[in-house]
Amino acid sequence: MVGELAALVRLSLSHFHRRFKVSFGEPPALYIMRQRMRRAQDLLITTGAPLSHVALECGLYDQAHFSRAFRRSVGISPRVYRRQFASDGVTARTI
């Protein structure tokens, strides 16, 4: 993913990393993962989609990978997050 972004803006990978970190204050891979977790949080709150679907929608390999990344990023599991923050009745819906 980061290599594709570097190629898109016609910079070497190392130069892209340096410029990105200066501009955004964090490495590109960390930024991308934070954006994926923000998307996951939104999907968990607004849909009743299974965690495996949320994982794929956010660009992660599978539910286990998603759950580990989500817990590392947010501090709680996706299931607990959904239970705590989803509106009543939302978890019964699917995408």
Distance between CA atoms of residues 25 and 46, nearest Å: 30
The domain that holds 51 is classified in CATH as 1.10.10.60
Answer yes or no: is 40 within a domain. Answer: yes
Per-residue pLDDT of the chain (95 residues; tens, 9 = 90+): 888 888 999 999 999 999 999 999 999 999 999 999 999 999 999 999 999 999 999 999 899 999 999 999 999 999 999 999 886 555 444 43
Total domains in the fold of the chain: 1
Answer yes or no: is 66 within a domain. Answer: yes
Closest CA to 65 of 40, 46, 86: 40
Provide the 8-state DSSP code for 95.
-
Q: What is the pLDDT of residue 94?
A: 42
Non-local (6+) Cβ contacts of 40 within 8 A are: 54, 55, 57, 58, 66, 70, 78
Answer yes or no: is 17 within a domain. Answer: no
- Inter-helix orientation angle 63-74/78-85, to 10°: 60
